[in-house]
Structure 1
């Protein structure tokens, strides 16, 4: 930003080097890319993610069914279960349950139920696929939209980082070239530059 402000300041200054102007123009181009291109890329990425995620929501809603399962018995927690302190606060339990698949066949198996202290005969909701196998809860539309917005912000932020990284790389190369020119100028001046014209 300092270089962009300096662009106006240096425009008629006789001490302005070509590299100073070039550095300011590079900064101005980077700023314009950040302000104009990054939001467009973010919007395009967000809308593409929204379209894909909403399609996934529709597919999951079509392929998954909410059925009512019945607890057969409570299953013991495995030895590899999570921390016992968090398990006390968790309102889910492993149970052996039975349910009816969407095609009418009976199914049973170990599942996780949102019951704190399940007893045989307790009923709970369970998501299954079309064949009656247990499945994760389908993604809802609001969560999909949130993910799409985050994807758009992420794409815009990545664009900003790439543009700023490119600007820094270009400026770094310009500074290296400037230092190389200074070294050449010092070499041409020679080792007695301080005594030139003194008659010694």
Structure 2
């Protein structure tokens, strides 16, 4: 961002070119967008993500409920199971066949994972079910929602900063290309007469 000083430095310099001033202004605008615009974009992205995730948390809590299931038997760890404790490390969970009752009184049986250390037949484990009593994943908690929203905001700010810097580089590259094109045209007009006595008289 050395070109930022060019806005003032080129002001009274007799060697200044119009392109120098324009490049300095482009750098200044890009700097302001990075300092002000990118954080605003990040905040907006984070706020919108936070609102959407909190709505999802409320919806999941309304649709799912914790219930108690009775362990029927253990199953082999390599067997495919449904993860009902998404917040826990799956390697610390034990797959078991469990039964529970749906809200309408019907019996349900399924293979679940549990973090409980007591997985003998007849022991009780906590599971999550939907309104119909079917096995469901654990609802997202508020802390996880806020963390994901913060990450979304940081990602939005970084993406905005990359767009600003990429736009600045493209504009400066185009300005440089036009400057060299003008120099080439000027040299093509003056070059054949360069060094000849009386040229231009």
Q: TM-score normalised by the shorter chain: which range applies?
A: 0.7 to 0.9
- Gaps spanning 5+ residues in structure 1: where? 82-88
**2 CA distance for matches of 1:186 and 1:90?**
73
Partner of 1:51: 51
Number of equivalenced pairs: 191
Greater alpha carbon shift after TM alignment, 72-81 vs 50-59: 72-81
Residue pair 1:91, 1:115 contacting (<8 A) in 2 also: no
Q: CA RMSD in A?
A: 2.2
* Residue 112 of structure 2 is aligned to residue 139 of structure 1: no
* 1:97 Cα deviation from its structure 2 partner: 0.8
- The yes-or-no answer on 1:78 pairing with 2:78 is yes
Q: Answer yes or no: is 1:151 the counterpart of 2:119.
A: no
Aligned residue number for residue 23 of structure 1: 23
CA deviation map 1:34-72 (0-9, x unaligned): 222222222222111111111111111111111111111
Range with bigger deviation, 68-77 or 110-119: 110-119
> CA 1:109 to 1:80, structure 2 compared with 1: closer, same or farther past 3 Å?
closer
Deviation at 1:90, TM superposition (A): 2.1
Q: TM-score, normalised by structure 2?
A: 0.87
List 4+ stretches of structure 1 deviating above 4 A.
Answer: none
Structure 2: stretches of 5+ with no match in the other structure: 82-89
- Corresponding residue for residue 91 of structure 2: 90
> Which residue of structure 2 aligns with residue 106 of structure 1?
107
How far apart, CA to CA, are the structure 1 residues paired with 2:160 and 2:134? 43
Counterparts of 1:196 and 1:22 in 2: how far apart (Å)? 35
Q: Following TM superposition, by how much is the alpha carbon of 1:91 offset from its aligned partner in structure 2, in angstroms?
A: 2.0
- Partner of 1:85 in structure 2? none
**TM-score normalised over the length of structure 1:** 0.87
Deviates more, 1:13-22 or 1:95-104: 95-104
Q: Do residues 32 (structure 1) and 35 (structure 2) align?
A: no
Three-state SS of the structure 2 residue aligned to 1:146 is helix
